Amino acid sequence: MKKSDAQTIVDLLKKAYPEASCSLDFETPMQAVVSVILSAQCTDERVNKTTPELFKICKTPKDFADIDINKLEELIHPCGFYKNKAKNIKLCSKQILENFNGKVPNTMEDLMSLAGVGRKTANVVLLEVFGIANGIAVDTHAKRISNLMGLSSKKEPEKIEQDLIKFFPKDTLKDINHLLVFHGRKTCVARKPKCDTCPVNIFCKYYRRNFL
């Protein structure tokens, strides 16, 4: 794919989803980390329904380190994998207290040293908390759409991210994250993509193979 085509895709997606932005609700940096940890294998919508009660009592790394693990498990239960997520949230908050003076770090390397925080989570936290768009959070939507559009032929999120970065200027990375997620949620729905009304269908391998 040419860089100019990649830019056209972004322009078309921006026009289609002007409201594209982060859909997780949080107020503090630590709550952002927790929201992203909870969003693994779970929808943002469910996370947002689950977190208000938790976030009423937990705002800082110390709050999350201090909360009783059973209480935490109970509160985050609807998000699934609650035992593992609770364990990671507790450990992660303790690491922030001990290694980063109680402040959520703002580099990829430091974030990835935390329990439960992989590259995708770190990218989201960097972008949404610190406004730093170093990379692209490749989730299931970004992966599927990148493959369909010919932006990457890779399967591994980290390799897809490296391919995507080559196509887009740094100052547009913030938008790419949100646009791919919105396109995946609203139009390129995995099980039933709405190809007829898809704003970027002419660039899609699946569309060209099946509908042209």
Contacting residues toward ligand SF4, per CB under 6 A: 145, 148, 187-188, 193-195, 198, 200-201, 204, 206-207
**Complete DSSP assignment for 115-154:** TT--HHHHHHHHHHHH---SS----HHHHHHHHHHTS---
Catalytic residue among 3, 14, 49, 139: 139
Reference 51, options 62, 36, 66; nearest CA is 36
Least Å distance between CB 204 and ligand SF4? Answer: 3
Catalytic residue among 85, 90, 120, 143: 120
Reference 58, options 35, 82, 81; nearest CA is 35
Distance CA 18, CA 94 (A): 38
175's enclosing H/E stretch is: helix 173-186
- In this complex, which beta carbon is closest to ligand SF4, that of residue 165 or of residue 195? 195
- In this complex, which beta carbon is closest to ligand SF4, that of residue 13 or of residue 124? 13
Query: Is 5 one of the catalytic residues?
Result: no
- In this complex, which beta carbon is closest to ligand SF4, that of residue 166 or of residue 194? 194
- In this complex, which beta carbon is closest to ligand SF4, that of residue 130 or of residue 206? 206
Least Å distance between CB 160 and ligand SF4? Answer: 15
How much is the CA Rg of the chain, to the nearest whole Å? Answer: 18
Least Å distance between CB 198 and ligand SF4? Answer: 3
Least Å distance between CB 212 and ligand SF4? Answer: 10
Query: Is 163 one of the catalytic residues?
Result: no
What is the CA 168 to chain-centroid distance, rounded? 18
- Residues recognised as catalytic: 120, 139
